[in-house]
């Protein structure tokens, strides 16, 4: 593993060699998340109406940036999917295959977000929600004000980036010029993900330390083909909690007990399955997805509507997407970038 990482971090001439050698390696050599940053090649964006080439997760994992806005000629479309909804649709497509389209056009209340059509013609309704953002209103308001002023347009950036900050961050003092310059350096170095947990001054990653100086928790490249009329820097606000393994089922229970997502899925006509995608911004709940112990069961859906729950925890395990049937502990784990299944033994070692 260390030999692989040295290859990946070598000079430009050695990176092609690293790609070739790694692709022929054994299953045990999968690239695992490490402190600091991940190096991946950035693939061209794909249209959402095309099947996704998942590549190979057993060997060299190619970071795919095939997120892009829906292209449609439907005049009835009055709303855009949020960046989180778009990313969710693409992540689920990488696992399920098939194609997807935006279903919530904004014309009526209570519409689910995305409709997936699989290769065997099954139709899957997908609703995207989040948990753990209830204490972030002040930070979000400050971000909205600066975004409206154009502070985060990122005119010198080629890609769209998602930047995570804590609720205690002082948004008014965030240096937008320096942040843009830092992201521009990441683009030049082909670094699609950086987390400050690798920023320890004695052995840390310089890219992670750059974010730490800015008061930023992490950054992840969202798309290499961003819309021309939208800011290239978008934000996620996070907060810390201290909790045990029970925090995960408690968080999912709060989501399922609200009932608003089930109401949208329940009225879906002509679909075979109803899926709920949960973005966890609660570090305590997210930490339980690292299988140091047995991952707790997912609580049952009190309304009996949801067939599958997808869980994505961008703050603690941004490389993985998790899937479970409500009322069971039958968790499955996938590489977000490729959609390939990952054994829990790999997660334990990451």
pLDDT, greater one: 242 or 16: 242
Is 53 inside any structural domain? Answer: no
Is 105 inside any structural domain? Answer: yes
Is 272 inside any structural domain? Answer: yes
DSSP string of 173-223? G--HHHHHHHHHHHHHTT--EEEGGG--TTT--HHHHHHHHHT--EEEEEE
d(CA 194, CA 97): 28
Is 143 inside any structural domain? Answer: no
pLDDT tens-digit map of 15-57: 333 333 333 333 333 333 333 333 333 333 333 444 444 333 3
Average pLDDT, the chain: 76
Is 111 inside any structural domain? Answer: yes
Is 154 inside any structural domain? Answer: no
Is 327 inside any structural domain? Answer: yes
Number of domains in the chain: 1
* Domain span including residue 97: 76-133+242-349
pLDDT, greater one: 69 or 221: 221
Which residue has tokens 């409709």?
A: 115
Is 163 inside any structural domain? Answer: no
d(CA 339, CA 266): 27
């Amino acid at each position: 593993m260390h030999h692989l990482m040295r290859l990946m971090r070598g000079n430009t001439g050695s990176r092609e060699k690293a790609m070739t050698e790694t692709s022929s390696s054994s299953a045990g050599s999968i690239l695992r998340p490490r402190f600091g940053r991940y190096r991946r090649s950035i693939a061209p964006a794909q249209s959402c109406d095309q099947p996704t080439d998942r590549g190979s997760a057993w060997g060299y994992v190619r970071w795919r940036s095939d997120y892009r806005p829906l292209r449609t000629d439907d005049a009835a479309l009055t709303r855009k999917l949020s960046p989180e909804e778009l990313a969710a649709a693409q992540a689920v497509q990488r696992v399920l295959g098939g194609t997807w389209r935006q279903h919530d056009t904004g014309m009526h209340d209570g519409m689910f977000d995305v409709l997936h059509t699989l290769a065997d013609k099954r139709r899957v309704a997908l609703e995207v929600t989040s948990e753990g953002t209830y204490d972030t209103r002040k930070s979000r308001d400050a971000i909205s004000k600066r975004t409206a002023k154009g502070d985060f347009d990122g005119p010198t950036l080629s890609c769209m980036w998602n930047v995570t900050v804590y609720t205690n961050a002082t948004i008014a003092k965030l240096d937008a010029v320096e942040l843009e310059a830092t992201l521009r350096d990441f683009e030049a170095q082909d670094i699609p993900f950086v987390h400050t947990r690798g920023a320890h001054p004695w052995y840390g990653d310089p890219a992670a330390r750059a974010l730490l100086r800015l008061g930023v928790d992490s950054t992840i490249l969202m798309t290499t083909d961003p819309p021309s009329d939208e800011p290239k820097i978008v934000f996620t606000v996070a907060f810390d909690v201290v909790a045990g393994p029970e925090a995960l089922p408690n968080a999912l229970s709060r989501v399922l007990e609200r009932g608003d997502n089930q109401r949208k899925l329940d009225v879906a006509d002509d679909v075979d399955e109803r899926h709920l995608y949960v973005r966890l911004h609660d570090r305590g709940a997210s930490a339980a997805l690292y299988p140091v112990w047995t991952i707790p069961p997912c609580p049952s859906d009190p309304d009996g509507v949801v067939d599958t729950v997808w869980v994505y925890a961008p703050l603690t395990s941004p490389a993985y997407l998790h899937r479970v049937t409500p009322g069971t502990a039958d968790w499955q784990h996938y590489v977000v970038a490729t959609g390939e299944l990952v054994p829990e033994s790999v997660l334990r070692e990451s």
